[in-house]
Structure 1
């Protein structure tokens, strides 16, 4: 139950609430002209402040973001389940922080008592919202699709969010599946099945976006088709398998770099030997050519020539000639001996190099086998890095393949799942006939209190194709304000059932906008109904009213005096409103 709404600004008019029905009235002063309005008196602002203190998200256009209010600290005192009085503070200048006293943020399994709680605590807004869900709505585990903030928006509708446009939505563009999941929880239906519609809608939306992406020439290439991606995945997998096999067979060779240097040195020696062989073979050819040219000169023809010419050679000349010939023979023999020695030396060197090449070749083969069978640690690291890159590529391709599969999924598959879900929800509603009957009868009872026993009124609850469908209906005779009274009866039904079965808090709040255009008789009946129900169900009902609307109910026999609470708001220009200032 809410008890007190206040602020640290002395101009602010503190609002005090009690159990049962509470009416906050905005009056017209005697000095008001026909053009003066009570739209700035603060009736809707009171509801906005309660939402602000109960964890509403703050935007640039929020009430507490306005310059005149940003530094004001607002406070709400309320009765917390199993803890007694609790006070919460929040300011627009630090919208992400909430202060509470006492600290009720203990574990879920804690046995609450008045002595279990500590002093003040500072919480983040998300943590505060989780506490609200835990203690006001009794949500303990994960609850996708169900939000304490959304359910509070049904129990305290806001005009700024167009919350009075439709009974089953709290803002104009709220998805039906989102709204009905939260309504299912408040009504005691299977909210998890209802949430299945929301998840299916999200899947369909993803598929629609991906379909649009494929039609885009750039994004189409990024996503790709399953056929193309299947082939790319096959190649990428083969590359990953090859690298994994290499790594599995890889052996790290100790002193790999030293062995590699030895192999390089042997290769250089073999190359140098080959170069030396080329030089020596050229020299050998030249020596072999020279030895064929080193032969004795034939001089046998000289003596007959001289005799034919009639020249008689003396013995001294013949002896001298013989000596020259003997010397020449000696020179030729010495040259041949020298050439033979050089040829033998070159031949020995060539043979020695051949043997050395054979030995070096065996050594080179041994070193290369070592290098081929293993590698350095750096090489293994490089292989592992390459494998990581290929695995990342493969994983990216698989993600793209999943996206492409989602894109190319048959619409019939989604339709089939929707039909299965619809059947499951229908079966669940049959099994929960007691809950649906309780809600329908309660709504009908409230509507007939407003419009008489003969008025047809019911809740239509069924499994639709796209969401759980909840439709409150009151047969209309075109009377003004019928849609507002549908919302009034529906909200009262939600609040009673949620509180009665431990699924929600004990308060319901309505802004004066709900009662615009409502007939006098229905307005009086609605206030009488709210007073009776809150007393019978131990609930709190807070409503803001313009005084002239309240006068209509008074003329129809309703006495508002016992329910009017402070502050008394007016349309006085400077200080008549809730904040005591104009901004």
Structure 2
């Protein structure tokens, strides 16, 4: 892949045309400022972000393009690419980031859908998958979660962000360890599927630790706690068996058994007597109420009542009333006499029941005293309670022992898998040495040119999988760390240049040259110019004019006039990349 042109849809944008091989974008400072400080806002980093954006990157917090989008989301950027020998034009706007418009040939079975203007509209995922196939030979359908993708790999060809230049093997400070291993293993020609296996093993180990925590165990407890647990379990099981026999053999003496039986009868009789006494007392209350409610009626009261309304009763009527009232008095006396007789009978019955109740309660207390004084029921209840406690404890011990056995079995399996995986990784590392030794040798040559002493690209196999690091001689200088990033990126671009599917592109922001000496910057750019020209890949460097060692580069044979493709300046807003200040 090679970029021919970078452009935008709005006026004022500084179009960039790139050459094959070595390219420079230079930022000039006209307005006085602190020497050595970067040119903020001119667009060097934004240019790298535009390339990444058109090649499928997502916008992140803190990126310059996020600021541009917030001010005006009408911007759309276009890359004119040479991809697999075909001329392709790729456009992506800030307003609809999931829509990629591609003009040109994309093969016999192109992704996306055709547009009336002759272009094709691709979803972001389709564009990334297409680039992964044609730039890195990836499978269009990622076989697993832990598989390399175009964006995670191309980030090593166009680093941006504050954490991108501190470690050669990381393109972001928050990058996960397995991603670092996976991407670098793939780029260096190692077996990246081994990294996926390592990560799956780590996930299984983490899941096992979480399961152990939920089981109130720990890996340390699982290591040595099963023997102690089994010992306690055997002891509790023996105690429980002995207790079961004691309960089975437990016998209550005959007098206790008779007392228990009599206690049950007396308790039942007491309940019946209490019900009978309650009923009797309720009847007594009702009869007493009815006796007191019988009124006495006099003829004089009737005559007075009629007189009040002006009616005088004759003597014959008065005599009839006397006869009626006498009959009523007779009935009332008979009813009162009956109720009083019944009340007397009920009181006698109730008194007898109360007496019987007292006798039964005394008998009940005697039976209870006999049973409790002998201890038979207490002993049996205590044995049964102890049996329940030991049964519960045994169930707990059985469950915990089973959990530990299962967890330890799983742990041993994982340990065995780790040993097998480490052996497989070691063997694979050795068998692929022809691929990665080329990268080690290339890194040594590049660092030799930079520092005068060869540096080391170290690839180890550890208990956690692949481990990568770089090492240089102490006299290499203060800018060594970032120049190691430069050297590693250039190494990857070099070893990938000859492959049929290659990104064919390396872009460095000016941050990679910070704190480096002039002679180191000159050597770095000279090496990049030589490697990109001889190995036929495209290199683009963003650099500030005050750290551009023109004389040293001329002495090294680098023709700057033909290699500077864009000059940005702060003399006027139109000199910035977007033709305006943001």
For this structure pair, what is the TM-score category when the shorter chain's length is used for normalisation?
Answer: 0.5 to 0.7
Q: 1:528 to 1:201 in 2, by over 3 A?
A: same
| Alignment partners' CA distance in 2, 1:28 and 1:573 | 11
- What is the aligned partner in structure 1 of residue 26 from structure 2? 25
Q: Per-residue displacement from partner, 1:374-418 (whole Å, max 9, x unpaired)? A: xxxxxxxxxxxxxxxxxxxxxxxxxxxxx9999887444333322
Query: Structure 1 residues 409, 10: CA separation in 2 closer, same or farther (over 3 Å shift)?
Result: farther
Q: Deviations over 1:429-466 (max 9, x none)?
A: 111221122111111111111222xx242221121211
Aligned counterpart for 1:515 among listed residues 509, 513, 516? 513
Secondary structure in 2 matching 1:51: helix
**Aligned to 1:78, which of 76, 81, 93?**
81
Secondary structure of residue in 2 paired with 1:9:
coil
Distance 2:43 2:18 in 1: 16
Counterpart position of 1:294: none
Provide, for residues 118-163 of structure 1, a one-character-per-residue CA deviation record: whole Å limited to 9, x for no partner. Answer: 9311111000000000111111364542111011011111134x11
Q: Is the 8 A contact 2:81 2:87 kept in 1?
A: yes
Alignment-derived partner of residue 563 in structure 2: 564
Residues 519 and 552, structure 2, Cα contact 8 Å, conserved in 1: no
Provide closer, same or farther for how the CA distance between residues 478 and 527 of structure 1 changes in structure 2, counting only shifts above 3 A: closer
Report the 3-state secondary structure (helix = DSSP H, G, I; strand = E; otherwise coil) of the residue aligned with 2:127. helix
Distance of aligned partners of 1:8 and 1:433 in 2 relative to their CA distance in 1, 3 Å threshold: same
Contact 1:103 1:121 in 2 (8 A): no
1:459 aligns with 2:419: no
SS of equivalent residue, structure 1 residue 567: strand
- Write the distance in 2 (CA, Å) between the matches of 1:102 and 1:438: 36
Q: CA deviation at 1:564?
A: 3.5
User: What corresponds to 2:444 in structure 1?
Assistant: 444
Q: Distance in 1 between matches of 2:438 and 2:75?
A: 44
Tell me if structure 2 keeps the 8 A contact 1:88–1:101: yes
Q: Counterpart of 2:333?
A: none
Contact 1:511 1:543 in 2 (8 A): yes
Corresponding residue SS for 2:440? helix
Change (3 A) 1:39 1:208: farther
**What does the per-residue CA deviation read over 1:49-78, in whole Å, with 9 as the maximum and x for residues that have no partner?**
111000012346544343224211111111
CA distance in 1, matches of 2:77, 2:70: 15
- The residue that corresponds to 1:159 in the other structure is 161
Deviation at 1:569, TM superposition (A): 0.5
The answer as to whether partners of 2:457 and 2:468 remain within 8 angstroms in 1 is yes
SS in 2 for 1:566: strand
Residues 334-391 of structure 1 show CA distances to partners (whole Å, capped at 9, x for unaligned) of: xxxxxxxxxxxxxxxxxxxxxxxxxxxxxxxxxxxxxxxxxxxxxxxxxxxxxxxxxx
The answer to whether the Cα contact below 8 Å between 1:520 and 1:556 also exists between their aligned partners in 2 is no
Q: Distance in 1 between matches of 2:214 and 2:109?
A: 46
Residues 71, 437 of structure 1: alpha-carbon distance in 2 compared, 3 angstrom cutoff: same
Structure 1 regions of 5+ residues with no counterpart?
A: 110-117, 217-402
Secondary structure of the residue aligned to 1:136 is helix
Give the superposition deviation at 1:428: 0.9
Shift of 1:505: 1.2
- Report how far residue 213 of structure 1 moved: 6.1
Name the residue aligned to 1:104: 106
Give the Å deviation of 1:14. 0.9
Alignment deviations for residues 146-184 of structure 1 (CA, whole Å, 9 cap, x no partner) = 111011011111134x11010011111212321222222
Counterpart Cα distance in 1 of 2:416 and 2:410:
10
Moved more, 545-554 or 405-414: 405-414
Any idea what the Cα deviations from partners look like across 1:296-325, whole Å, max 9, x if unmatched? xxxxxxxxxxxxxxxxxxxxxxxxxxxxxx
| RMSD, aligned α-carbons | 2.9
1:108 and 1:497, CA in 2 relative to 1: closer, same or farther beyond 3 A? farther
- Aligned residue in 1 for 2:577: 578
Residues 185 and 503 of structure 1 are in contact (CA less than 8 Å); yes or no, is this contact kept in structure 2?
Answer: no
Deviations 1:454-502, CA, capped at 9 Å, x for gaps: x242221121211311223222326111112211111111111122233
- Whether the 8 Å CA contact 1:25–1:564 is kept in 2: the answer is no
Asked if the contact 1:476–1:482 (Cα under 8 Å) also holds between the matched residues in 2, the reply is no
- Which residue pairs with 1:124 in the alignment? 123
Q: Residue 538 of structure 2 corresponds to which residue in structure 1? A: 540
Matched, 1:204 2:202: no
Partner Cα distance (1:158, 1:542) in 2: 14
Sort the Cα spacing of 1:527 and 1:37 in 2 relative to 1 into closer, same or farther, 3 A.
closer
* Per-residue CA distance 1:106-127 (angstroms, 9 max, x = gap): 4499xxxxxxxx9311111000
Mapping of 1:452-531 within 5 angstroms?
A: 452=452, 455-477=453-475, 479-531=477-529
Matches within 5 A, 1:401-420: 410-420=410-420
Q: Which runs of 5+ in 2 are unaligned?
A: 112-116, 218-402
**What is the CA distance between 1:214 and its match in structure 2?**
6.3
Contact 2:25 2:44 survives alignment (8 Å): yes
Q: Distance in 2 between matches of 1:130 and 1:181?
A: 18
Answering whether residue 91 of structure 2 is matched by residue 89 of structure 1, we say yes
SS at match of 2:169: coil
TM-score by length of 1: 0.61
Give the C-alpha shift of residue 579 in structure 1: 1.1
Instruction: Sort the Cα spacing of 1:186 and 1:563 in 2 relative to 1 into closer, same or farther, 3 A.
Output: farther
Mapped partners of 1:509, 1:490: distance in 2? 13
Q: 1:563 to 1:468 in 2, by over 3 A?
A: farther
Q: How does 1:287-306 map to 2 (within 5 A)?
A: none
